[in-house]
Amino acid sequence: MRIIFYDSKSYDKQSFDKALRHFSDISIEYMVADLDERTAVYSKEYDAVCAFVNSVIDADVLKILYDNGIRLVLMRCAGFNNVDVNEADRLGITVMRVPGYSPEAVAELAMGLALAAQRRIHKAYIKVRENNFSLQGLTGVTLHGKTAGIVGTGKIGAAMCRICRGFGMKVIAYDKYHNESLDFVEYVELDRLLSESDLISLHCPLDDTTYHLIDERTIDMMKNGVILVNTSRGAIVNTDALIKGIRDMKFHAVGLDVYEEESDYVFENLEDDILQHSITARLLSFPNVIVTSHQGFLTEEALDAISETTLKNAKAFISGDITGENVVK
């Protein structure tokens, strides 16, 4: 199988080349460009494409891939909201993903964002670099004894529940499907979670039911001084409502690894550019907000798991054994 690998970064090539040693019948051609309607044409002469979270895989792109003979789309991530799954199914294109590469990696970053934002570690670091050792503006809160509200208790959300419990927090959660392994978690309705939690961490997929789940109405339900963390999908939070809530002093701290505008910026170096009408710049103007660049997955262990599972998915397709949660339906 020959795979064309879109939106490749140095860490992708390193981890996939390492994994390829164990898959002698698979080869990869790396492309810097991401997958969209313009670049889909390069898939000709290949057997599969490998794409990531911000790749455009809509009906138009899928039609080009199909015409080029592509019958397999390998997503090297868990999410697939950027894929027109119905069109892929209609064309007979199989879409496979990596559902659980390293849930602890994302959950650990979520807690890291919560701690860094609410203890103002980012501000303290900058102050000390300028020889300013004043503690003004650095007051945080103690998480021990507080209530953590986890929205979504899949593998990542469950890992976050366990981390919060380790901090001595009471853990409540909202999910349509209860995780029986979390016997220390109390499942509650979303409204109650929003009103009782001191820390709210989002770990749900993006779909029609979760789009702008956090909006002006749900923010109003939250405690004053709440800590909000999103390492899931940007559009789960209505950014305009979030900014209003920050300005209204609703939040003690906000930590975001994902945000609505990220598709234009994420993973790119734009340090010499002036961002026009940037939501990201507005968020960064607040002293109690930390924004990172969708790096929840970026640990050595997670990269190894992503590359190995992606290549195993390709191998399964070759052998005709395409079943289980790795197949997107």
Separation between Cα atoms, residue 257 and residue 177, nearest integer Å: 25
Contacts of 81 (CB under 8 A, 6+ apart): 205, 206, 207, 233
Angle at alpha carbon of residue 72, lines to 41 and 310, rounded to 5°:
110
294 labelled catalytic: yes
Q: Which of 76, 120, 252, 294 is catalytic?
A: 294
233 labelled catalytic: yes
Distances (CA, A) of 319 to 18, 23, 313: 22, 13, 10
CB 250 within 8 A of CB 278: no
Q: Which of 203, 233, 260, 308 is catalytic?
A: 233
150's enclosing H/E stretch is strand 147-151
Contacts of 322 (CB under 8 A, 6+ apart): 94, 96, 316
CB 197 within 8 A of CB 149: yes
Angle at alpha carbon of residue 94, lines to 89 and 97, rounded to 5°:
120
Q: Which residues pair with 248 in a beta bridge?
A: none
Q: Which of 97, 252, 262, 308 is catalytic?
A: 262
122 labelled catalytic: no
| Burial label, 269 (beta-carbon count in 10 A; 0-12, 13-18, 19+) | exposed
Catalytic (active-site) positions: 233, 262, 294
